[in-house]
Amino acid sequence: MAMFGMMELLLAVLMGGSTGNDLLDYMQTQAYWQVKGVAVTAQAMQAELMPMPPGQVKALIADLTGNDEAKRSAAAEKLAGMGTGIIPQLEKAAAAAQGHPDKAGAIQQLIGRLYEARQAGAVRRLMAIRALGELKARSALPALKGLLKSKTLFEADYAAAAIAAIEGKPYTRPGASAKTLAGDIWRLPANCGIVAQFKVSPGGPVDFAKLLKDVGQLPGGMTQEQVLAQATKMLVKAADMTGNMRFDAVTIGVADNAADRTGFAVFIARGTYDAKAISALIGEEGRGRSETVNGIEVLKPDSEVGMILPDNNTFIFTGGPDRGELPLGELTAAVKTGAGGLKPAGTMGKLIKTVDTSAPVWAAATITEAYKRGGPIIAAFKTITLVGKPVKGGQRLTATGKGDDPQQVDLAVKAFNGLIAMGKAELEQQVNRRRPMSRPLKPILEFLKSIKASADGVTATATAMFKGSSLMTVAPLFMYSMSARMPAPPDAQEARPVPPEVPVERD
C-alpha cells in the first residue's frame, strides 16, 4: 500500500474515535506477535519477560554460525530481539570468526540489524506485558507486580495496566500535569502572535480490526487482513527503531511576523520517549549537526530547523524560513530556568487570560500586520480566540473574533460562511461518490455542517461540534489557518473596504 493510503487509514482510525496516545497503541497484539513469529499464549509471553539464562547468547551465537540452516535462522531471530546490549559479545564472536567469511558475515549482518532496530527488545517486552493483560493471565501477576518499580521506560505503567486488566479494575495512564502544561505557555518566546495548546486524553490500545470494518471499502482493493498486516509491519519497523513514544500535549507558538520568509513556529511537546535513543538515531541518519546554546545541545537536522531533547518527557521543535530568526536562545534559556520571553503582563499574556486554558484545545491570536496579509477574513479582526471542550458525543469548539469596524466584521463572517459552504459542497460530492475511504470523511462533513458563524457589532462568534477522536479536534485549527489564506467569494471581496496599507492576496 502506498504511504498516502496508510495516512488515509490513520486518519480513518482517528476519525473513528480512537483514543490511542502511544505509538504501540496502533499495533494490534496478535498482529505484532505474528510478525515476530511467536504464538500469543500466557506461557510464551511470560517467557519473554524471564531473565536471560547464563550462556544463552553464547549458545545462540554458536547456532548462528553453525551448519544447521533452521537453527541459524531461529538463532538470528532470537538474537535480533535481544537489543544492542549483546553487541559486545557479537563483536567478540565476529573477531574470533576471522578466516570464516560466511560466519563472520552472518554476525556482522546481525549487528547491523540490531543497530537498525535498537529498541526491538524494549518494545517486545512491552507488547508481552500488554498481551498478558489481554489474556487475563493470573499466573503472570507475580512477574507483573515485580515490574511495578521498573525504571525502564513504560514498563511500570504497562505492568500496572496489565494487572488492572487481569483483576478487572479500571486504569488510567499517567500524563503531563496541569502545572507543567500551564508553565509551558510561559516557556514560549516573547514575540508570539499565536499561542495554542492541545491536550490528549490518556488512551489505550486501538482495536484495528473493528475500526477497519467501520472504514468500509479500502483503497487498492485490499482486504482488511492485508491492510492490518502491512500497517503492523510499518509500525513494528518504526517502533523497533525509536521505541515506544507517548504524546500527552503540545504547546504551540507562532511568531507575530510569520510570513513566507520571516518568523518561526515553536512546538513544546510533552509525553514520554527515549530522548537519548532518538538523538542518536537522528545523528546516525546523517543529520547529526548540532550546536550548544546556553549550555544546551540543539540538534539541527537542516538549516531551518532546531530540536531540543532535554529529557524523556519534553521535545522542543522550532522551524522557520530563516535560520537566523529561530529563537534558540530563548528556548534553551527556558529549558534551564523554566521561563521564556512570553509574559503574563504582555499583550498576548492578557489575551490568554481571557481563555479557558484548562480546556483540551484552545488558541489565542493577536492579528498583526503580517497576519492581515493572509486575507480579508483575518484582517477584519484584532484578536481571535478558540476553545474546545468535551461534551456528550464529541467536542464543542467556540471561536471568537473581535475587531474595530462592524461592517468589516460582518463581511468577514459572510466570507467565512461562503468558504464553509463551498467546503461542504465539495466534500459532500466526495462522500456521495462512495469511493474507497470515503466513509471516514463523513465526520468531517458533519463537522462542517455544524459550523454556525454570526456577527454582533465588532464581535464574531463561530461554534462547531466534532464527533470522533479527541486527536481530531485540532483539525479546525489547521482548516482555519488554510482558509485564512484563501480569497473570499467575489461579492464579499468587492464589498469590503480595504485600507490601502493592508494588502490582500487575490486570485
Q: How high is the pLDDT of residue 83?
A: 73
Residue 435 lies in a domain: yes
Q: What is the predicted pLDDT for the residue at 501?
A: 38
**pTM (2 decimals)?**
0.84
CA distance 289 to 266: 20
Q: What is the number of domains present in the chain?
A: 2
| 487 located within any domain | yes
pLDDT at 431 (0 to 100): 77
Report if residue 319 sits inside a domain. Answer: no
Q: Which of 167, 202, 218 is at the close of a domain?
A: 167
**pLDDT at res. 440:** 65
Note whether residue 440 is domain-resident: yes
Q: Are the CB atoms for 40 and 29 separated by under 8 Å?
A: yes
| Averaged pLDDT in 10-residue chunks for the chain of 507 residues | 43 55 91 91 94 80 82 82 80 82 84 82 95 97 96 96 97 94 96 94 80 63 75 88 94 92 93 91 70 92 89 95 83 95 95 96 95 92 94 88 96 95 89 67 85 96 79 44 36 38 37
Burial class (CB in 10 A: 0-12, 13-18, 19+), 87: middle
Cβ–Cβ < 8 Å for 245, 271: yes
Residue 233 lies in a domain: no
Quote the domain boundaries for residue 417.
354-507
The DSSP letter of residue 22 is: B
Residue 138 is assigned to a structural domain of this protein: yes
In a domain? residue 55:
yes
CA Rg value for the chain: 26
Of 167, 196, 212, the domain-final residue: 167
Q: Is there a domain that residue 78 lies in?
A: yes
Q: Which of 465-484 are b and which e, b meaning 16 or more Cβ less than 10 Å from the residue's Cβ?
A: bbebbbbbbbbbbebbeebb
* Domain final residue pick, 147, 167, 187: 167
Model pLDDT, residue 53: 75
Helix (H, G, I), strand (E, B) or coil at 284: helix
